[in-house]
Amino acid sequence: MRVRFAPSPSGQLHVGNARTALFNWLLARGSGGAFILRIEDTDVERSTPESEATIFRDMRWLGLDWDEGPDVGGARGPYRASERLHLYQSYATELLNAGAAYYCFCSTERLEEERRAAVAAGRPALYAGTCRQIPPREAEARIHAGQPAAVRFRVPENREVVFTDVVRGDVRFHTDVIGDPVIMRPGGMPAYNFAVVIDDALMAVTHVVRGEDHISNTPRQILMYEALGFPLPEFAHLAIVLGPDHTKLSKRHGATSVAERRLKGYLPEALVNYLALIGWSPGGGDELLPIHELAKRFSLSDVVSAAGVFDEEKLAWVNRHYLKMAEPARLAELTLPFFRAAGFEMAPDAIGVEFLASVVPVASGVVDRLDQVPARLSFLFAYDPAMALTDEHVRGEMRAEGARSVVHALAEVLAGAPRLDRDGFRAAANEVKAKTGQKGKALFHPIRVALTGRTEGPELDLAIPAIDRGAELPPDAGLPKILGCRERAAAFVQSLG
Ligand code: GLU
């Protein structure tokens, strides 16, 4: 099995296209076949090298590696359409010589006029066939005289093109509704419908798996395969991905590119797993499976033909699962850009990373995305009691009966205590309880407020030891300074006045 993903490099990798790439990848990896990345960059106006680079980057980030492609090469390259122009030219000549294609000298204005007239008359806007009957020798003479011309494919009359789409079943088109398509533009660039046939055939692609927006192109392509004597591949058209309002997923629905998802803190394995579940189910009752397991189970015939809706809640659920599974050290590295974006200067060394790895799971187990982690851990790096005391919630907690006595007792107890681990914290809390007679919320709320500067946050059993481990970090660990609990309690009392 040889499959391909053939993006046009004109913008970011859209999640819908990433799903197409993923399904191709799953097929290749599940069957021991080859996955080809081909860049369709013949639309000179819209194609950019930057876009190509972002496609490579995002595919790699998702873990969708390719066996053949512009950067890795392969036996059937080149893998950039713009480097294959000689091939398109030579096959176009072959079709011209066989009479299966002809030169078209119609001007853009004329074609546009015809199109408008057809639409006004309620007819399909097909090419009128003006240049179909020009004798080849006359056409050659006009070309030699320098007249600009496109090359059109001669669509056979009165035929039905039928193919069995792996996802959608039998699909039929009558050639009456297919106008002769341009295959080479006047400037020498191929049209998509032509280039894709040459490329898929010469690259020996066995299964063309792509978005259903290409279904009406398929009969044209099949006719070209026939005219060129190429064997037909299987076709599978994947239903489009819709937004929650059941219109095509677009910017209006939020983050539509893979890059935006990465920047919001989704893990690649979560996005991959989620995308695989749009329109397909691995069966066996489990949906949360690593990519290689998905590949083992994937089958095109199980892909549904109905459109899938992009479900943010489900993606969040899948991401939470992978956040809980991820290695702490990896999470620490992945979270750094989010801390920096939140204004924390961080360039941790090995010790700093080790510390972050010990604290990030405290937050990553309860958030949907990595971009929510810094806010949950800011109590470590940004402690400011005077500022905290300007917050209405904090003031409210401190107005509660006995709250001030708890905080004073805490400062006294901690003044002589070593750094707190979990047991040390429990012992200190018990001492405060004995000194003040406060317990439960009346004890722990003021303690939380005094030691974290916040009314909410992770369990104190986790938060407090984290603060005091942080306080022991060497100054050159590359993290913002963390004030210890002893110092925090004293500072809080002072700020209380
Ligand atoms: N460049 C086309 C697209 O991005 C590829 C279509 C195909 O796979 O044939 O839609």
Give 7-25 pLDDT, tens digit per residue: 999 999 999 999 999 999 9
- Model confidence band, residue 253 (pLDDT cutoffs 50, 70, 90): confident
Closest ligand 1 atom, residue 17 Cα: 4
Please tell me the predicted confidence (pLDDT) of residue 24: 98
Residue 468 Cβ inside 6 Å of ligand 1? The answer reads no
Query: Is residue 255 classed as helix, strand or coil in its secondary structure?
Result: coil
Please tell me the predicted confidence (pLDDT) of residue 268: 98
Q: Which residues contact 16 (CB under 8 A, 6 or more apart)?
A: 211, 240, 241, 249, 256
- Model confidence band, residue 254 (pLDDT cutoffs 50, 70, 90): confident
Residue 8 Cβ inside 6 Å of ligand 1? The answer reads yes
Closest ligand 1 atom, residue 5 Cα: 8
Pocket mutation for ligand 1, best pick of 192, 200, 224 (most atoms within 8 Å of C-beta): 192
For residues 442 and 461, is the Cβ–Cβ distance under 8 A? no
Closest ligand 1 atom, residue 217 Cα: 9
Residues marked as catalytic: 251
Considering only CA atoms, which of 298, 342, 361 is closest in space to residue 19? 298
Q: Separation of 301 CA from ligand 1 center, angstroms?
A: 21
Please tell me the predicted confidence (pLDDT) of residue 250: 85
Answer yes or no: pTM beyond 0.85.
yes
Query: Partners of 211 in the beta sheet?
Result: 238
Q: Separation of 7 CA from ligand 1 center, angstroms?
A: 6
Query: Is residue 150 classed as helix, strand or coil in its secondary structure?
Result: strand
Q: Return d(Cα 140, Cα 151) in angstroms, integer.
A: 12
Closest ligand 1 atom, residue 40 Cα: 1
Please tell me the predicted confidence (pLDDT) of residue 332: 96
- Model confidence band, residue 144 (pLDDT cutoffs 50, 70, 90): very high
Pocket mutation for ligand 1, best pick of 17, 37, 167, 196 (most atoms within 8 Å of C-beta): 196
- Residue found under tokens 């009752």: 285
Pocket mutation for ligand 1, best pick of 14, 207, 210 (most atoms within 8 Å of C-beta): 210
Please tell me the predicted confidence (pLDDT) of residue 481: 97
Over 90: is that where the pLDDT of 325 sits? yes
Q: Separation of 46 CA from ligand 1 center, angstroms?
A: 14
Please tell me the predicted confidence (pLDDT) of residue 316: 97
Among protein residues, the one whose CA lies closest to atom 4 of ligand 1: 7
Residue 7 Cβ inside 6 Å of ligand 1? The answer reads yes
